[in-house]
Amino acid sequence: IRYFMLIPEAAQLVLQAGLMGRGGEIYVLDMGEPVKIVDLARDMIRLSGFTEEEIRIVFTGLRPGEKLFEELLADGEHTLPTPHPKLRIARAQAALSADALAELRGWLEGAPQNEAAVKRRLAQLVPEYRPQQSS
């Protein structure tokens, strides 16, 4: 599933968010309804005058860093309205404490020797963090 938006509309919304911002806000753009890539492929085949029998859709799997779904907000986050109907402000559940950040900084300084431990600790501190599997 992906969201699609025209570049001029996206640029206009980014500029609007910049004008509204007071400092530290995270804006979420209303990008319309999500589109399934397979539905997009089927539409493109049909609009080109072909059938799915003539142009086969091949599922190749995910490439490194790709996701099945675009997640605009993490679990536990919600948005607040703004004066602009297509812009919202994201509200995080909670930020990391100063102690947690200091601990994380210490872990990261030792990262070359403790990469697996750093990833485990990051997953504990940030529940949405999903480390990429090494190949």
Residues 6 or more apart whose Cβ sits within 8 Å of residue 1: 34, 35, 36, 37, 68, 69, 70
Q: Does the pLDDT of residue 119 top 90, yes or no?
A: no
More confident of the two residues 11 and 68: 11
**How sure is the predictor about 133, in pLDDT bands with cuts at 50, 70 and 90?**
low
- Runs of H (alpha helix) within the chain: 7-20, 37-47, 98-109, 115-125
For residue 115, the model assigns a pLDDT of 75
Average pLDDT, the chain: 85
User: Which range, 42-46, 68-72, 122-126, is most confident?
Assistant: 42-46
